[in-house]
Amino acid sequence: MSDPKVLEDFDFHGTALDTIFDQYKSMHESQPVGHSSKYGGFWYIAKSDDIFEAEQDPETWSVGPSMLLPSFGTEMPLIPIDIDPPTHAGFRKILLSLFTPMAINKLEPGMHTTARELADEVKQAFSESNVVDVSKSFARPYPTIIFSRFAGYPEADWPMFDQWIDDIIYERTKDPDRAKQAGDDLIAYVQRLIDDGREGIVQLGIMGELLDAKVDGRPLTNDELISYGYLLFLAGLDTTAWAIRSSLWYLAGNKEAQRLLRNEPERIPDAAEEFLRTLSPVQAMARTAKKDTVVRGQEIQAGERVVLVFGAGNRDPEVYENPNDIDITRENNRHLAFGGGIHRCLGSNLGRKELVISLEHFLATIPEFELADDEPWHGVGSLRLRLTGGE
């Protein structure tokens, strides 16, 4: 049995992710609820059932002051993710009407075209170089371009968006000032878009619809509009880029899986669910206890920070057979990659479609590939691949 003491420093950011699956194993074997000293101290919850239960119970668990631990480079709560009931419902409803399956289906032809174009560019890059960074040239630009098109943000600005996201999400544990600066720049950018959209200078997509949206019968305030714009950026881009990158990372190390999905692309949706389960882009999200409570015998006091470890819930041996095996043919794969309660991911249809379509085009265009370097499974950093020669 592994040593539960290592869990006293449990972390879910940066290089801690390199060995996080071993830590999840320890949690499931010996300590499914425990305390970490990191980030001012927090409790973690690792069992799938406990996480689902907490997700359904906003009376006990608040999403304030931020679902992220440590919090974003902004002082305002992000709508709707950092808002509790009863206010949350009205804000979520506005987005629900914009993220309907019909609205997402309308994006599909453009999603195919862009995935094909980017995959062709990767193929071209391979004809000029043995090694290509497909995170930079495929996994990252794809969701950023699709989201920008949907939101009405200028597509050509995507490299700047990715830099802000890197600083806010990945650098904030190392360099909070840089994260704050990126957050301020992003807010200024969204403000300019809102102003230009109001004056009809730019044609906004869903951001334009938010300008006309009402909550409790009144229009949204300027701060609320900025908060939506900011959150959608952070929620929709690197999550999907991570999912695409980590799927390609896995496939690069598993030629048999590559072969199966190339020969039988109808299996890609099931494979995508398995990648989302085992290599989840959002490994954990925070809550705050609103009152004293007990989880699996552990007392947790009002005001304490708690982290729902979706990544551990997704590898819970009581729920999944061989939970640590990546089985791309696994069926009925109910997982926590998109959360599970009143804050369940609103972009899950979009994210799923982006993942499946991007893998389809990548595998149809790029012949057998392998890892050129020893890259980590997680994040949105480089993923350098080389072709193995078999067309």
Binding footprint of ligand HEM on the chain (CB under 6 A): 55, 80-81, 92, 95, 147, 231-232, 235-236, 239-240, 243, 281-282, 285, 310, 337-341, 343-347, 350-351
Decide: 336 and 224 in contact? Cβ < 8 Å: no
Min dist CB 309 to ligand HEM, Å, is 11
- Residue closer to ligand HEM by CB (options 34, 351) is 351
Least Å distance, CB 99 to ligand HEM, is 7
Q: Specify the DSSP element, H or E, that contains 385.
A: strand 384-387
Residue 4 Cβ, how far from ligand HEM at the closest point, in Å? 26
Can you tell me which residue has the tokens 């907490």?
54
Name the residue nearer to ligand HEM (CB basis): 285 or 312: 285
Residue 178, CA distances (Å) to 14, 16, 140 in order:
16, 21, 21
- Contact yes or no for 346/99 (Cβ under 8 A): yes
Instruction: Kindly list the distances between the CA atom of residue 86 and the CA atoms of 52, 83, 236, in Å, as whole numbers in the listed order.
Output: 20, 9, 24
CB of 165 to ligand HEM, least distance (A): 13
Nearest CA to 74 among 190, 179, 170?
179
Least spacing, CB of residue 216 vs ligand HEM, in Å: 17
DSSP 8-state assignment for residue 283 = -
Strands annotated E in 208-329: 214-215, 218-219, 285-289, 293-295, 298-300, 305-308
Written as six digits, the tokens of 114 are 């862009």
Select 126 or 313, whichever has its Cβ closest to ligand HEM: 313
- Residue number with CB closer to ligand HEM (232 or 366): 232
Candidates 186, 115, 116; CA nearest to 151 is 186
Task: Considering the complex, state which of residue 80 and residue 205 has its C-beta at the smaller distance from ligand HEM.
Answer: 80
Select 342 or 372, whichever has its Cβ closest to ligand HEM: 342
- 81 or 295: whose CB is closer to ligand HEM? 81
Contact 243, 357 (CB under 8 A): no
CB of 48 to ligand HEM, least distance (A): 13
Least separation in angstroms between CB 306 and ligand HEM:
12
